[in-house]
Structure 1
Amino acid sequence: RQPLSQASGVKVDINAVPEIGPFKRRPKNVILVSVESLSADYLGTYGNKENLTPYLDKLAKESLVFDRIFATGTRTVRGLDALSLGTPPIPGQAIVHRPDNEHLATVGEFLEAQNFHTFFIYGGYGVFDNMNAYFRGNDYHVIDRTDFDASTIQAENVWGVDDESLFNNSISQFDAVASSQKPFFAHIMTTSNHRPYTFPEGKIDLPQGNRAGAVKYTDYAIGQLIENAKTKPWFKDTLFIIVADHCSSAAGKTKLPVAKYHIPLFFYAPDMLPAGHYTRMASQIDITPTILDLLGAKGGHHFFGQTLFEKTETQIAPRAFISNYQELGYYKNDTLIVLSPKQKAEAYQVDAVTMESTPTSMNETLLNEAIAYYQTASRAFKMGALKESENLNP
């Protein structure tokens, strides 16, 4: 693929020192926690009144909270594409599922080539959805539930181990790497907020077997992760990114209800990042280049997304990409373009506050942008232009 600077027409110096935005200094390590099915509307920070996320709501006051971030899809694999490869959701199957998906220009490939230890750690069986093969093929050190000692697991079900056990096993890995002084990047994928919604007894004040209890337990487990990490010597040099893979449901009155793609995103690094709110709209695919830029690593301009801290004069206009198993959406300027099979296209006006959509006349400029993004991403994968060898050097 071309660098974003070429593909978008925005003039960017790809050899410039990457921006760090509001950070006081660069993090040495990044821990990215992608939380299963954590819709923004479960969090008090985003308006929920049920007190399902007391720890995250407390953490929000110490974090940079992103107010308007949108997931690319409705399945975990779409979130994994976005958070590893930074691509819009290409038509058909997710790239994680596809053949010839090894050695792509992923966060793992870029960072491993620049002397980082890179992890993908999953609480379930990584053979599911081809996760193990995809991440191993892209230079991540893959760890899943089969690698956890039985004595370290508090509870488990068919979907995965409890999130606390996942996080505790992850921290053991980070301790080992940090003792060697090597920087690390870790992508942790949780499972507790998924059917059958079971978790260890005695942790929270809600019963098992339902979504509300699972959300509150996941919140509790994230709290245990952060509090445990605070005791570690590597904590002060580490950025924690907490984001959802997708929302819990995409059902709505329209094919692609925008509100059902609204996900939480926190950047937490109290020693180097002041708390606050980031109000500009952005996409899940913008997280990947941001990670590379914050770490001072090469490769950030070779993603379809753009770093969240790009200088004002070189920022692209805010936009988001959303999809389901058939439709592809392009959300920009309060307008949603929906591309459907058989070359069908529709346009909707989106209320900036409620995110409700109403049909409107087609905006040809936005339609052409939508088609260009999705066709370019699909063609780039098919033609091998997403391979690391095509992208690591300017």
Structure 2
Amino acid sequence: MTEKIPGRYRLVVIFFLIMTAASFITRIVLCVKSLPAMELSLPLLAKIFGVGLFFDVVAFSYALIPFAILIVVIPDRVHNWRISRIFSQIFFFIFTFAMLFNGVSEYIFFDEFATRYNFIAVDYLIYTTEVIRNIRESYPVGLIITSLTVITVIPFIPISRAVSRTFPSNAPLRKRAAISGSILLLPIASFFFVDLAMTEISPNNYANELAGNGLYGFASAFRNNELDFNKFYAAKDDNLVMNHLRTLLVSPDKHGIAREIHGKGAMKRHNVILVCVESLSAEYMTAFGNNKGITPNLDRLAKESLFFTHLYASGTRTVRGLEAITLSIPPLPGTAIVKRPGNENLFSIGAVMKNHGYDNHFIYGGRGYFDNMNYFFANNGFKDIDQTDMTKEEVTFKNAWGVCDEDLFDKTIKQADISFAQKQPFFSFVMTTSNHRPYTYPEGKIDIPSGSGRDGAVKYTDYALNQLIEKSKMKPWFKETIFIIVADHCAGSARKLALPIKNYEIPMLIYAPNIVKPKIVDKMMAQIDIAPTLLGLLNISYSSSFFGRDIFDKNINNERAFIGTYQKLGYIDGNRLLTLDPGKKVEQYSFTRADGNTTPIPADDRLLMNGLAYYQGSAYTYKQKLGRVAQ
């Protein structure tokens, strides 16, 4: 096939065939894996592989840029050297191995997140120490690399022969420049005219993911770490949107959304320990239908607490949960505010509590530079404590992501003792790590072996939470302390639908036997409502720039929540869902709470306006730096 193509340009063809063949095989494997979640038909299959091939070519066009440049700058004399031939053989062996390795990596990533490479992959690339260690603890990396190296030899035999036949090559500079210029037109056209939204070929999210290309998806996520709402979404006039938002929030502010919140009596200076549990989906608890018995302590504690059974997580990453709880703001498109530059001195729960005399600490079991957590909290009303602040004696077990939850909670109790001794009410925001792959924890604590999977990690976290409560009961500050247990996000949100409502459900418990009476709260609640609700329980009066609200405010009638990925935004209003996508795409559905199944409904301008008020309004206030805390 390549014999008809002159000289060194056959290398480009070989490069193309390797890349597209690897992508094609990867797509077949992922398609087979996704069959239970897809209603596959021949037209849909044709779309998946047709659009998939298109994106494979687009990804190839970007990868081809260095080739196009080298074709011009390397003269025939150098190209035909023996060392150049050897280098070409080595390069194509490594490239073939890399494509096979990428296929395995995509499979593992798809198995974990049910999606191609996206924002999560970009984040993981930045924090290589934790991620590489996590991979080594979770998978037999040595065996995988050795096996792939051996397997690479099989396709490389014909590839090596094809590469050898491209030498010698003779082409004048003018001809090389003309061909390279033509080649470069492809990535240029792709940059301006191709968008990841073109993979949306079906209502089924799995089909859309299969139609994409993992490497292209990775590059797209890296490029679009922040998305301008007015540019990419179905925005309306900012003044119109902000006026409607002020109406929804009952704010008299002519510029932002500030309004006065008045406590329902004298301020209650109770201590607060808020435990943000890694990946604690509602589906793990018995109250939500789980019959495995992996949360016996939480199940018991729920009966003694304010138990919130209709709460939705804002997103699918820890930073989204931290953002929602601390800032009480809907998820902005792109990366979370926690990781953005210029995220200092925002209006936050930390600022309010600090202004009312609380000793605030963000206590994390891992290293707080991960996801920029330490910087964010340190510049928004908290003092940081992480794994690096723990002595050797305080750490009994750790893995790639941090110390075990028991060690973290023991450190939390020690800090509470210090604040209490200083006669300061304390607010501890505690972020756990044990319920995360590789799912390892101290042996002998529960009846599921360490490292055996998610169920064991959930049950260990449940055990550790009980230890926190029981040890705290022995402290003089216990009777005046409110414990809040809530998830940062659910364990997995990527399903058949791009925004699977059911999979955003998370539990929340507010436990304080001497302060709050046990009760089931089944009113719909967003993660951004947690901070205002906590401040309401404490009867704290403050000037608010929160987008959330006190769930116990009797003046609130409508039920609404916010869910999203880094691009797709969802606004839930009762039993209706509004979705906003880049490309100014708007869709509306009705859904059933029991299973989350959605049905398209006619457009409702009121629903759209309410959703835009929150999403466009939050993007506007953040961009304009409204509601910042004066320093």
Q: TM-score range by the shorter chain?
A: over 0.9
Instruction: Work out the CA distance in 2 between the residues paired with 1:191 and 1:286.
Output: 24
- Displacement of 1:141 after TM fit? 0.8
Structure 1 residues 187 and 300, CA gap change in structure 2 (3 angstroms): farther
Q: Are positions 1:76 and 2:336 aligned together?
A: no
SS at match of 1:272: coil
Instruction: Work out the CA distance in 2 between the residues paired with 1:9 and 1:141.
Output: 31
Structure 1 residues 377 and 11, CA gap change in structure 2 (3 angstroms): closer
**Residue in 2 aligned with 1:336?**
577
Q: Name the aligned partner's letter for residue 385 of structure 1.
A: L
1:1-55: per-residue Cα shift (whole Å, max 9, x none)?
x9999441548996564248xxx99451111100000000001122211001000
Q: Are positions 1:234 and 2:481 aligned together?
A: no
CA contact (8 A) 2:533 2:550 kept: yes
- Displacement of 1:152 after TM fit? 1.1
Q: Are positions 1:18 and 2:263 aligned together?
A: yes
User: Could you tell me the TM-score, scaled by structure 2's length?
Assistant: 0.59
Structure 1 residues 214 and 343, CA gap change in structure 2 (3 angstroms): same
CA contact (8 A) 2:245 2:613 kept: no
Residue segments in structure 1 that go unaligned for 5+ positions in a row = none
- Displacement of 1:308 after TM fit? 1.5
Q: Determine which structure has the larger strand proportion and give its number.
A: 1
- Displacement of 1:296 after TM fit? 3.0
- Displacement of 1:333 after TM fit? 2.1
Structure 1 residues 27 and 261, CA gap change in structure 2 (3 angstroms): farther
User: Could you tell me the TM-score, scaled by structure 1's length?
Assistant: 0.93
Instruction: Work out the CA distance in 2 between the residues paired with 1:137 and 1:180.
Output: 23
- Displacement of 1:309 after TM fit? 1.4
**Residue in 2 aligned with 1:389?**
630
- Displacement of 1:317 after TM fit? 1.4
CA contact (8 A) 1:124 1:160 kept: yes
Supply the RMSD in Å over aligned alpha carbons. 2.1
Q: Which residue of 500, 504, 513 maps to 1:261? A: 504
CA contact (8 A) 1:300 1:307 kept: no
Structure of greater Rg: 2
SS at match of 1:352: coil
CA contact (8 A) 2:480 2:514 kept: yes
Instruction: Work out the CA distance in 2 between the residues paired with 1:338 and 1:19.
Output: 36
Q: Which moved more, 1:10-19 or 1:51-60?
A: 10-19
Instruction: Work out the CA distance in 2 between the residues paired with 1:300 and 1:121.
Output: 27
- Displacement of 1:198 after TM fit? 0.4
CA contact (8 A) 2:267 2:538 kept: no
1:158-214: per-residue Cα shift (whole Å, max 9, x none)?
111000000001100000101121111110000000011100010000122210000
- Displacement of 1:272 after TM fit? 1.4
Q: Are positions 1:309 and 2:552 aligned together?
A: yes
Q: Name the aligned partner's letter for residue 480 of structure 2.
A: D
Instruction: Work out the CA distance in 2 between the residues paired with 1:255 and 1:233.
Output: 48
Q: Name the aligned partner's letter for residue 196 of structure 1.
A: P
Q: Name the aligned partner's letter for residue 141 of structure 1.
A: K
Alignment of 1:142-221 (within 5 A): 142-209=384-451, 210-221=453-464
Structure 1 residues 180 and 203, CA gap change in structure 2 (3 angstroms): same
**Residue in 1 aligned with 2:248?**
8
Instruction: Work out the CA distance in 1 between the residues paired with 2:362 and 2:408.
Output: 12
Instruction: Work out the CA distance in 1 between the residues paired with 2:615 and 2:450.
Output: 41
Q: Where has structure 1 moved over 4 Å in runs of 4 or more? A: 2-5, 11-16
SS at match of 1:67: strand
Instruction: Work out the CA distance in 2 between the residues paired with 1:251 and 1:200.
Output: 30
SS at match of 1:249: coil
- Displacement of 1:369 after TM fit? 1.2
Instruction: Work out the CA distance in 2 between the residues paired with 1:362 and 1:55.
Output: 45
Q: Are positions 1:125 and 2:370 aligned together?
A: no
CA contact (8 A) 1:329 1:338 kept: yes
SS at match of 2:563: strand
SS at match of 2:630: helix
Q: Which moved more, 1:124-133 or 1:248-257?
A: 248-257
Q: Name the aligned partner's letter for residue 224 of structure 1.
A: Q
Q: Which residue of 376, 386, 392 maps to 1:134? A: 376
1:99-136: per-residue Cα shift (whole Å, max 9, x none)?
11111111111211221100100001100000010000
Structure 1 residues 300 and 223, CA gap change in structure 2 (3 angstroms): farther
CA contact (8 A) 1:10 1:316 kept: no
Higher RCO structure, 1 or 2 (CA under 8 Å, sep 6+): 1
Instruction: Work out the CA distance in 1 between the residues paired with 2:577 and 2:343.
Output: 30
Structure 1 residues 385 and 130, CA gap change in structure 2 (3 angstroms): same
Structure 1 residues 256 and 15, CA gap change in structure 2 (3 angstroms): closer
SS at match of 1:277: strand
Structure 1 residues 124 and 309, CA gap change in structure 2 (3 angstroms): same
Q: Name the aligned partner's letter for residue 271 of structure 1.
A: N
Instruction: Work out the CA distance in 2 between the residues paired with 1:128 and 1:279.
Output: 34
Structure 1 residues 224 and 42, CA gap change in structure 2 (3 angstroms): same
Q: Which residue of 373, 388, 391 maps to 2:614? A: 373
**Residue in 1 aligned with 2:538?**
295
Q: Which residue of 321, 326, 351 maps to 2:567? A: 326
Q: Determine which structure has the larger helix proportion and give its number.
A: 2
Q: Name the aligned partner's letter for residue 263 of structure 2.
A: P
Structure 1 residues 113 and 27, CA gap change in structure 2 (3 angstroms): closer
CA contact (8 A) 2:578 2:587 kept: yes
Q: Are positions 1:281 and 2:486 aligned together?
A: no
Q: Name the aligned partner's letter for residue 279 of structure 2.
A: S
Q: Are positions 1:30 and 2:275 aligned together?
A: no
Q: Which residue of 244, 249, 254 maps to 2:487? A: 244
Q: Which moved more, 1:9-18 or 1:367-376?
A: 9-18
- Displacement of 1:382 after TM fit? 1.2
Structure 1 residues 372 and 4, CA gap change in structure 2 (3 angstroms): closer
Instruction: Work out the CA distance in 2 between the residues paired with 1:290 and 1:355.
Output: 26
- Displacement of 1:352 after TM fit? 2.8
CA contact (8 A) 1:110 1:388 kept: no
Structure 1 residues 76 and 212, CA gap change in structure 2 (3 angstroms): same
Alignment of 1:58-73 (within 5 A): 58-73=300-315
SS at match of 1:264: strand
CA contact (8 A) 1:3 1:303 kept: no
Residue segments in structure 2 that go unaligned for 5+ positions in a row = 1-241, 253-257
CA contact (8 A) 2:484 2:508 kept: yes
**Residue in 1 aligned with 2:45?**
none
